[in-house]
Structure 1
């Protein structure tokens, strides 16, 4: 069994609103040179992960609960539980909580 890692509270992540709570699942030791992040992420009501570009890696968001407005380059989509999105290297993405409860996602950043 893996040890529980300390949560990270990130204010205005990538220029977003409010804060995020990032609960890492794997440490750099387990991820090695394959991944940069594997985490359970809580985006409280009214908060967001600002739109940002990936370079040399890609990121998947998988929605566990709540409602989010996902930005994929110049398009936006509403997402809910069971939805997933992937941002390729060289592209932009972000997500905003648009619901009345926490938006809870799994985030995975893999090197490309």
Structure 2
């Protein structure tokens, strides 16, 4: 398992921690990412677009504001988001506890 801290991920605030659970070989080169992502309070993963792939988030804990192509909504534990090819998203931890979610990128 590889753990990476990314500062200003996709132009976001502060840093995020990405715990890569499986590597490309284990994912049969069909997925770009399967990871647990943690965003501490006040930090964010900036808005970014996906091309040739889709990304799903499954929120495990905490509270955040999710930007789905310019439309924002609050996400909490149990929520699922989906961003398809050609679309964009971002997420910010607006809560007082860590925002933790699973991220899965699947190639088209």
Give the superposition deviation at 1:91.
0.4
The whole-number CA distance in structure 1 between the counterparts of 2:76 and 2:23 is 28
The yes-or-no answer on 1:73 pairing with 2:69 is yes
CA distance in 1, matches of 2:47, 2:79: 19
Structure 2 length-normalised TM: 0.98
1:6, distance to aligned residue in structure 2 (A): 2.3
Offset from partner CA, 1:20-41 (integer Å, 9 cap, x none): 0000010111112210000011
Q: Give the secondary-structure state (helix, strand or coil) at the position aligned to 1:14.
A: helix
SS at match of 2:2: coil
* Distance (whole Å) between structure 1 residues aligned to residue 73 and residue 107 of structure 2: 25
Match of 2:14 in 1: 18
**In structure 1, distance between residues paired with 2:106 and 2:55:** 6
Is 1:49 the counterpart of 2:45 in the alignment? Answer: yes
Aligned-pair RMSD on alpha carbons?
A: 0.6
Rounded Cα–Cα distance in structure 2 between residues aligned with 1:69 and 1:29: 33
- Give the gaps of 5 or more residues in structure 2: none
Could you say which residue in structure 2 is the equivalent of 1:95?
91
More strand as a share of residues: 2
Q: Which ranges in structure 1 are unaligned for 5 or more consecutive residues?
A: none
Describe the superposition over 1:39-94 as per-residue Cα deviations: whole angstroms up to 9, x where unpaired. Answer: 01100111000000000001001100000100000200100000000000100100
Runs of 4+ in 1 over 6 A off after TM superposition: none
